[in-house]
Amino acid sequence: MKINKLKSQNSNESGGTSAQAAIDDPFAAAFAQRDVPGRSLWIDAWHRLLKNRAAVVSAIIMFLMLMAVVFGPMISPWAADFTDWDHTASPPSLANGHWFGTDAVGRDILVRTLEGGRISLLVGLVATLVSLVIGITYGSIAGFYGGMTDRLMMRMVDIIYALPFMFFVILLMVIFGRNIILIFVAIGAVNWLDMARIVRGQTLGLKNTEFVEAAQACGVSDRAIITRHIVPNLLGVVMVYVTLTIPQVILVESFLSFLGLGVQEPMSSWGALVNDGAQDMESAPWTLVFPATFLAVTLYCFNYIGDGMRDALDPKDR
Amino acid sequence: MALLNVKNLRVRFDTPEGDVHAVNGIDFHVNQGETLAIVGESGSGKSQLVMAIMGLLAENGEAEGVAEFRDVDLMQLSSHDLNKVRGREIAMIFQDPMTSLNPFLTIEQQMTEVVMHHQKLGKREAHQHAVEMLRAVRIPDPEERIRQYPHEYSGGMRQRVMIAMGLLCEPDLLIADEPTTALDVTVQAQITHLIGELRDKTQMAIILITHDLAVVAGICDRIVVMYAGKMVECGTVDEIFYEPQHPYTRGLLASVPRLDRDAEMDLHAIPGNPPNLLSLPTGCSFRDRCVEAQEACRQVPPLWRDEKGHMSRCVNKIPGGQIVDDQGEPA
Amino acid sequence: MTNSGLWHHVVSRSLGLIPTLLMLITIAFFMIRMAPGGPFDTEKALPPEIRANLDAKYHLDEPLLQQYFRYLGQIVTLDFGPSFQYKDWTVNELIAQGFPVSLTIGGLAMLVAFFLGTLVGITAALRQNSGVDYSIMGVAMLGISIPNFVVAPLLILVFAVYAGWLPAGGWEWSFRHMLLPVLTLSLPVVAYIARLTRGSMIEVLHSNYIRTARAKGLPERIVILRHALKPALLPVISFMGPATAGLITGSVVIERIYSIPGLGSYFVQGALNRDYTLVMGVVIFYGVIIVLMNFIVDLLYAWLNPKIRFDENQ
């Protein structure tokens, strides 16, 4: 039984679906469409994220929250510092217009909660930004230069990691007074460690990948390598950590406010409101419940979004 | 009398992109003491097939069909009952020895637990037995080395340990899923040789899964060739190597680089890409890539069988053959 | 096969402790000194001579660097100096008073967090993607998201005020007094450990060596307890270091809410009153605990992981 020998591949053969030379293949054209079209990593990740119901719901809630804290106080009939002497410490009621009730001096809790939200979210974003900038700079330098520089820099991180950072934040607040800019910087400055570690890990890994080597071998400039190969790969991981850092930072700020070391009156944040509410919780529980709920919901949602992003960009069996 | 009889086995995976049909209805049998090779490229379903039989499919996998091992259908067994068969009457070794052993337990612990559980041996006896086994697979200084951890062994040595571990209860069937793929070429030869030797001593049956025909030629009696989850050809080693009927088999054989050919000739390859298991073509799955494809290939091809048992699933007739159904009975 | 790998590890890690501690002391020292206002400014204005005497007695008139080295010398002999705020007490005495309380609550919280957290996490992992799994993880997420200074008042409200079963605060060495603080303190850590354990266990259960164990016909119970448990718990053990830091941080708030005279309260008061020595003492003390804990965890991890313990090529 003779074995059909195929003619040697012609030089245009790229292993694709071209017709064999020996027999005129009537199906060649149809076969060409058999391949599954490729999808970029980002589109894939986006699809996966969208399938994560918890993350999507959380994102919607966060969006609504954002709208509420930004526009709510503008359309509310009550100013945050307006003291309604007719209705001090009154429970929530639709009738008198104080939907969340009032506190001991008659300030509307709803407006205060929303305005407090502005501060809490603002701190969350700005402090995260600070920590992002410091972390990325530090991490990419360590990762990029590698060697002794990297070892020293990471040693520093290890040492700082072991220190009770909360105490230092408290010290900072005590030293410099309760300045909101300082809060941004202090919290951010204390939170950059994780970001630095991640960025350094990624940079180190990327620097040594074959595709970067290949790019260098092809004569691609350093700058192009950084912008086209390294940065896009960093972006994903950084985005995940930003989403996870925001709730951490908001938590730290509320901690501080709770201890009386956060933003100064008349500015208020959720943490401060919870602190106030806790004082009156037996007589006026609504002063505690509403800000606490907003805070908890925000943290909850950010955590789910961050989790969802992490799974979308790095899927493993959950 | 067949030791293992597989009928119409199907395996399907539920993935976000849709259902992946890894195995699409396969029938084969393994006789006592016989060494069967299952050959195919990546994605042919050969690994998932044995995973299904052994009850080791991933969570999103579902299997249907019958796998009769000595009159007991393994597919219907509960985990509890399956555990009486696994490791004792049917043993399995895997492709990647580097990750197949638990890094946190010593070799001794991982070996003795098998016999202590299945054969109720005491610690001392189990230890002796394990040491003997290590000696049989040629691990040097087994008394010393048995107390070590996997990371202290090389890849080849770890695979030997896997083999030793599999043979501890003297199983009647050993399933080896690409046991040499991850190893160096010289080590490959050693391991293949070792398996053959042990088989000769113990008369156990072996299912050897591989994509490497050279390995097959060394120690196997019969071969099943798989493509896109189906059997496309099966026969004895001689039949397959000297009289391959299916175009895919011929393509595989022609692709093996040979020392006796002209070095300037281009390497032969089967054109096209492996099948997309999410959407297989109608009729014969191989027709996209087949040199002998015809109009008739758009229909499901018949299964031919000659009087010696050589089967091929193709429009092309086997000389002296007749059309049969999947169980091998005349249609 | 020897334990030489482990030994190398211990030695190198021990050496690493010193720079860490030094850095801790230095940062704390200079930071607190930077605070405007000294320890005696908050009291009624003192006549200058008395003020000068006080400064001299506490060496506050010396150049900063000199004060620093003087302090280092004191530390080495474990003398944290006198408290500026509580005039008749030394810092050592204050720490000795406050620490046992904080230790009890913190220690109990850590035990609860570890055992409850791992138990819950393993349960969720074994029933992956089931209703049980989702609800456990949902609750765990709540535990991480709701700050303990929110949970605490709520618990007090429910159990102390409305139901009257437990005291609303204050400290006594009784189960009733310890229950709420320990619970509230440990909650976020329990939640985190539950999530961590679940993820780790799921990953381990998908590894090749678990597949081998099943292929050997071992019953699932043995596969999990003997083959999967230890690898799955390693990341959790690693986490106990940072967990300690977290518990200590949390204790500051818990002690405040439940009016517990622990070290955390002393710290906050000290910071607000510029009691340098007390603040320094507490920071260093806690810092040492965290560093030690990280050290112990590190060693424990190395001991449990055969690759580190038995590898001679460190």
Backbone angles phi, psi at B305, to 5 degrees: -145, 130
Instruction: Identify the helix (H) or strand (E) that includes residue B177.
Output: strand B173-177
pLDDT in tens, A223-257: 677 667 777 777 777 888 888 888 888 888 888 88
DSSP notation for chain C: --SHHHHHHHHHHHHHHHHHHHHHHHHHHHHHHHSSS-TTSSSSPPPHHHHHHHHHHTTTTS-HHHHHHHHHHHHHTT---B-SSSTT-BHHHHHHHHHHHHHHHHHHHHHHHHHHHHHHHHHHHHTTTSHHHHHHHHHHHHHHHS-HHHHHHHHIIIIIIIS--S-SS---SSHHHHHHHHHHHHHHHHHHHHHHHHHHHHHHHTSHHHHHHHHTT--HHHIIIIIIHHHHHHHHHHHHHHHHHHHHHHHHHHHHHTT--SHHHHHHHHHHTT-HHHHHHHHHHHHHHHHHHHHHHHHHHHHH-HHHHT-S--
DSSP B330: B
Mean pLDDT of all residues in chain C? 83
Reply yes or no on whether the pLDDT at A284 is more than 50: yes
Amino acid at C284: I
Give the pLDDT of residue A5.
Answer: 32
ipTM attached to this prediction: 0.89
Q: How confident is the model at residue C65 (pLDDT cuts 50, 70, 90)?
A: confident
pLDDT exceeds 80 at position A13: no
pLDDT for position B104: 93
Distance CA(A3)–CA(A5), nearest Å, equals 6
More confident residue, A202 or B48: B48
Q: What pLDDT band is residue A38 in, cutting at 50, 70 and 90?
A: low
Distance separating alpha carbons of residues C169 and C181, to the nearest angstrom: 9
Nearest CA to C301 out of C241, C247, C223 is that of C241
Nearest CA in chain B to C308: B151
Residue B235 pLDDT more than 60? Answer: yes
B72 pairs with which residues across the strands?
Answer: B69
Task: Judge residue C134's burial from the number of C-beta atoms within 10 Å of its C-beta, 0-12 exposed, 13-18 middle, 19 or more buried.
Answer: middle
Q: Which has more confidence, C12 or B127?
A: B127
- Which amino acid, A107? R
C244: closest chain A residue by CA:
A164
Q: What percent of chain C has pLDDT over 70?
A: 92
- In angstroms, rounded to a whole number, what is the distance separating the alpha carbons of residues B239 and B243? 5
Segment A117-139 shows an average pLDDT of 87
Q: A interface mutation test: which of B266, B270, B290 has the most A CBs within 10 A?
A: B266
pLDDT tens sequence across C203-250: 999 999 999 999 999 999 999 999 999 999 999 998 898 888 888 888
Question: Cβ contacts (< 8 Å) between C215 and chain B: which residues?
Answer: 54, 56, 86-87, 91-92, 94
Q: Which of C129, C144, C256 sits opposite A259 (nearest CB)?
A: C256
CA-based nearest distance B249→chain C, Å: 31
pLDDT reported for residue B147: 93
Cα distance between residue B303 and residue B307, in whole Å: 13
Task: Say which residue, C9 or A316, is predicted with more confidence.
Answer: C9
Chain A neighbors of B266, CB-CB under 8 A: 8-9
CA distances from B45 to B6, B86, B220 (A): 14, 21, 20
Nearest CB to C217 within list B85, B100, B147:
B85
Residue A317 pLDDT exceeds 70: no
C298–chain A nearest CA distance, Å: 12
pLDDT band at B227 (very low <50, low <70, confident <90, very high): very high
In the predicted structure, residue B71 carries a pLDDT above the cut 60: yes
- Report yes or no: A277 at the C interface, CB cutoff 8 Å: yes
**Residues in contact with A46: Cβ distance below 8 Å, sequence separation at least 6, in sequence order:** A312
Residue A131's Cα: distance from chain center in Å?
12
Q: Is the CB of residue A189 less than 8 Å from the CB of residue A135? A: no
Instruction: Please check whether residue A62 touches C, CB under 8 A.
Output: no
**Across the interface, do A17 and B291 touch by the CB < 8 Å criterion?**
no
Amino acid, single-letter form, for residue A193: L
Instruction: Count the neighbouring beta carbons within 10 Å of the beta carbon of residue A259.
Output: 21
B200 has a pLDDT exceeding 50:
yes
pLDDT value of residue A6: 34
CB atoms within 10 A of CB C198: 26
| Cα separations in angstroms, B31 against B69, B215, B219 | 11, 20, 15
SS3 category, B217: helix
Name, of A20-29, B159-168, C157-166, the range with top average pLDDT.
B159-168
pLDDT digits (tens, 9 = 90+) for B249-267: 988 888 877 777 776 777 7
Q: Could you read off the pLDDT of C251-309 as tens digits, one per residue? A: 888 888 888 888 888 888 877 777 777 877 888 888 888 888 888 888 888 888 887 77
Helices A180-207 and A231-259, interaxial angle, to 10°?
150
Taking the Cβ of residue C306 and every Cβ of chain B, the question of whether any pair is shorter than 8 Å is answered with: yes
pLDDT digits (tens, 9 = 90+) for C23-47: 878 877 777 677 666 666 655 666 7
Kindly report the nearest CA distance between residue C167 and chain A, in angstroms: 14
Alpha carbon A274 to its chain centroid, in Å, reads 24
pLDDT tops 70 at residue B175: yes
Judge residue A94's burial from the number of C-beta atoms within 10 Å of its C-beta, 0-12 exposed, 13-18 middle, 19 or more buried: exposed
Pairs across A and C, CB distance < 8 A = 124
Contact of A78 with A130, CB cutoff 8 Å: no
Nearest CB to C215 within list B92, B104, B149? B92
**Residue B262: is it exposed, middle or buried by C-beta count within 10 angstroms (0-12/13-18/19+)?**
exposed
List the single residue in B79, B84, B151 with the smallest CB-CB distance to C306. Answer: B151
Half-sphere exposure of B250 (CA within 13 A, CB side): 18
Residue A73 · residue A114 · CB < 8 Å: yes
Contact C128, C140 (CB under 8 A): no
Percentage of chain C exceeding pLDDT 90: 25
pLDDT number for residue A8? 32
- Counting as contact any 3 or more CB pairs under 8 A, the partners of A are B, C
Indicate yes or no: CB of B147 within 8 angstroms of CB of C1.
yes
Strand, helix or coil for residue B86: strand
A49-95 pLDDT, tens per residue? 888 888 889 999 999 999 988 888 888 887 777 787 777 777 877 77
The residue with greater pLDDT, B216 or B165, is B165
DSSP state, residue B75: G
Nearest Cα neighbor of B114 from C10, A60, C223 is C223
Give CA–CA dist C132/C119, Å, rounded. 13
Chains touching C by CB (3 or more pairs below 8 Å): A, B
Q: According to the model, what pLDDT value does residue A28 have?
A: 55
